Structure 1
Amino acid sequence: MPAMIFLNLPVSDVEVSKTFFEKLGYASNPQFSDDRTACVVISDTIFVMLLEKSRFKDFTKKDVADAETTAEALICLNAESRTAVDELVDAALAAGGSPALAPQDHGFMYQRSFLDPDHHQWEIMWMDPAAVAGQS
């Protein structure tokens, strides 16, 4: 069984964040959602748990980072093509996200980024399969 990733993110408004990710084409799993939590299914092995900030705090003794002013993590997802990178980032921007950095095009790798409604930074990238295999 492959390892699963459950990325937990603090959010100001669970419903706003859930709706944002649904507009990007991701489904929510109601089995693991309630009025303070939403489980967004990215793939069979990747899930994003959107936790109201007070609920997020139940899982840590640390201060919760303010993603508007502090970067604690950069979340990077791969895409199947350069076009898929553009489609997902354009959908994020249309759904209320904002641009993070300028696109990066290295020929063998293409990347764009956006900030979600709570300012978490998402990197969407495509890499040439030949480059991954060490053939370029």
Structure 2
Amino acid sequence: MKVKSIFVNLPIKDLKRTRDFWTKLGFSFNEQFSDDKALCLVLNEGLIYSMLITHELFSTFTNRPISNGITTQVLTAIEVESKEQVDKIVKLALENGATRYRESADHGWMYYDCFADLDGHQWEIMFSDPTQMQQ
């Protein structure tokens, strides 16, 4: 079994604020899959996306209540190329309205930091170098 791509679907409250937030962090959107009810956040072109969907539209995909941003159901972890990039993304997120829910951690071979976005979704930004793992 091999997955062709992944789309993480997350409910959002404000489309414009969400677009501005992720743009300031240096990310882009696939406009072909974005409209006035959803944004397609490009995490890795051709492979990984996050569909950021207004509550109104998101509620048509599920019969369960939508998270209110104060509970945790999913931690979305993304790996980047360096520790410096981890710090840069988290710094930009915090400067643009995100909140910190846990301090960064450095395990030598893996470094990560975290933030909750404007809608309370938790993101872990990480860098790892498996060659530094102790046997």
- In the superposition, the TM-score normalised over structure 2's length comes to 0.91
How many percent identity over aligned positions? 38
Shift of 1:129: 3.2
Q: Does 1:114 align with 2:115?
A: yes
- Residue matched to 2:93: 92
Alpha carbons 1:38, 1:50 under 8 Å: kept: yes
| Corresponding residue of 2:72 | 71
SS in 2 for 1:88: helix
CA drift at 1:2: 5.9
In 1, Cα distance between the equivalents of 2:126 and 2:20?
23
Distance 1:55 1:97 in 2: 23
| SS of residue matched to 2:21 | helix
Could you tell me which runs of 5 or more consecutive residues in structure 2 were left unpaired when the two chains were aligned. none
- Secondary structure of 1:35's counterpart equals coil
CA distance in 1, matches of 2:82, 2:41: 22
Could you say which residue in structure 1 is the equivalent of 2:34?
33
Deviation at 1:99, TM superposition (A): 1.1
Comparing 91-100 and 51-60, the one that deviates more:
91-100
Gaps of 5+ in 1: none
Residue in structure 2 matched with residue 50 of structure 1 by the alignment: 52
Paired positions, count: 133
Offset from partner CA, 1:60-109 (integer Å, 9 cap, x none): 11111112x21010010011111111111111112221112011111111
In structure 1, C-alpha distance between the alignment counterparts of 2:52 and 2:87, rounded to whole Å: 24
